[in-house]
Chain A
Amino acid sequence: MAEQQIPKPEPPITETTRPFWEGTKRNELMLRKCVECGHHRNPLVIDANICPNCGSRKPSDWVKASGRGTVHTFTVVHRIFHPAFEAEAPYVIVIGELEEGPRLLGNMRGIAPDKVKGGMPIEVIYEELNDKITLPQFRPAKALA
């Protein structure tokens, strides 16, 4: 490992996403659940107090997700778009479909890129980016014992 590694771009923490990032630090995946219609949403996508399902602006609840889901789709990125990813490439970006409904972006860990398949069961793991941010990532789900 190089001494001075170029850091990965840091996701912005906003007022409405702060509880999400506090959750990942505790190794918990926090979603918003609308108090009016019960719709779950990914707080990083709708970074506002708005339910995209019913339009409610009543502050949604923060609920802990199971962290389980499936691979909706993925790509294995070979091109280096940013120097921070040079050591990692080729790396897998997954759009995971969570049990609660919303989709979550993450990198796939714990499996060779060419073994990733659409529909495969996955679970969220937590990866420290720096002192401030812990990223949600994915790995293949362990078989239910």
Chain B
Amino acid sequence: MSSKKCAIIGVGYTPQGKLPDWSVRELFLEASKNAIDDAGLKTHDIDGILVELCWTDPSTQCWTLQQDLGIKVTGLCANYDSMGASGGCKVQLAQMAIQAGLCNNVLIAFVEKSATAPAVPYRMGPGPGMAHGLFGAMPGIALAAQRHKILYGTKSEQLAEVAMTFRKHACLNPIATMRKPMTLEDHQNSRMIADPLRLFDCCLVSDGGRAVVVTSAQRARSAPKRPVYIMGFGQGHVNIDLLMRHDLISTGAEKSGKTAFQMAGIEPKDVDVLGLYDATSHNVITQLEELGFCKRGEGGAFVEGGRLSLEGEFPTNTSGGMLSEVYLQGWTGIPEVVSQLRGECGERQVKDAEIGLVTNQGGFISYHSTLILRR
């Protein structure tokens, strides 16, 4: 139905890791300028802005960024929040806005500042769960991971397989935070956070920003770099509260994936490279099931034998992902898959990568976005 309507033509990075000397506002501007440069555009070419507020410092809004970039007028300027799913959702919204004729070139920007920002309460609290020691995302995701273990016997060694594979990829990525190889022993010796999740099953805590530029397929042809077309997309959202979830391991990823695959007219087997939202290694296993890469309950076995590695059938999170590259709340996937489809990944390049899939998740595995991209 909607193939090759729009494309991602620019990707912008900032320094990443621990950035005590950078403000959130500076990071937004840096990521944005770099994405606009990469797209071969000037700032005044941007006429759409979508921002996801930085949760530790929400002072930079879409209008702040428009001002800081010196853009006089836009046809779309909005803050958008479906938490960690926002990145993918905003790319979808950009395409819809461009197709509707609101704007031509949409800048999408994101900043995470959780490594050096002053501690702020997790935005989903304070709820009644805190009296029982339920703080932050990890114990919540652990409750879902345990449910998977209860139903299917998923093993810690299978979670380790995900973490070790992404670490291997990070070792080939010069900007990755974690570049020391991880053995099974390292994983099993890493301290338990919330059973069954060990430290090495959990994402990093980082600062950094990313931005992309989306434009129409027609304009994309004159971009300096190879355009990466949006072939299909979908979303799926379930109840935010864990206690209201019909089933903790049946999430919106299934609906999100089905919609995207149908729109793109392809099947999971056609995908050459994946960027899956990896808040924890558990998220990767269930998404593979829900997106149809394997049957429900078989995700643990599916990731064994290096299937997600560069040499495997489905190279996944080739930058190292949020487990080993950097935690940018889902913003590792889109830039890395775009780079793979452009053929810019050097040592970690997936040979002849043509079709990529990126997911984002937000909340307690509550919000989902799937993007299918093609060079």
Contact = CB atoms under 8 A, between A and B. Distances in A.
Interface of A: 8-12, 42, 44-46, 52, 72-79, 81-82, 85, 88, 90-91, 93, 95, 102-107, 113, 117-119, 129, 133, 135, 137
B239 to A, nearest CB: 8
B91 to A, nearest CB: 31
Contact of B150 (A81, A119, A137): A119
A9 B130 contact: yes
Contacts of A44: 128
Contacts of B146: 73-75, 118
Chain B binding surface, main DSSP class: helix
Contacts of A82: 130, 133, 135
Contacts of B149: 118
B139 interface: yes
B242 A107 contact: no
B192 interface: yes
Interface in B221-262: 241-244, 248
A88 B143 contact: no
Given A102-B243, A118-B146, A79 B138 contact: yes
B192 A133 contact: no
Q: Which 6 A/B pairs are nearest by Cβ-Cβ distance?
A: A118-B150, A81-B135, A75-B142, A76-B195, A73-B147, A9-B130
A11 B128 contact: yes
A133 B131 contact: yes
Contacts of A11: 127-128, 130-131
Contact of A88 (B133, B136, B191): B133
A12 B128 contact: yes
Given A105-B128, A118-B146, A78 B195 contact: yes
A10 B243 contact: no
A105 B147 contact: no
Given A93-B139, A119-B150, A103 B126 contact: no
Nearest to B248: A73
B138 A129 contact: no
27 contacts: A8-B133, A44-B128, A45-B241, A45-B243, A46-B244, A52-B244, A72-B248, A73-B248, A75-B142, A75-B195, A75-B197, A77-B133, A78-B193, A78-B195, A79-B191, A79-B193, A79-B194, A82-B133, A91-B133, A93-B134, A95-B143, A95-B242, A103-B244, A105-B128, A105-B242, A107-B133, A118-B149
Given A73-B143, A104-B243, A118-B147, A78 B194 contact: yes
B129 interface: yes
A29 to B, nearest CB: 14
Contact of A75 (B126, B151, B194, B244): B194
A34 to B, nearest CB: 15
From A11, A104, A135, residue with most partner B Cβ within 10 Å: A11
A44 B241 CA distance: 11
B132 A107 contact: yes
Contacts of A8: 130-131, 133
A135 B132 contact: yes
Given A72-B147, A75-B195, A81 B136 contact: yes
Contacts of B126: 9, 12
Nearest to B136: A81
B372 interface: no
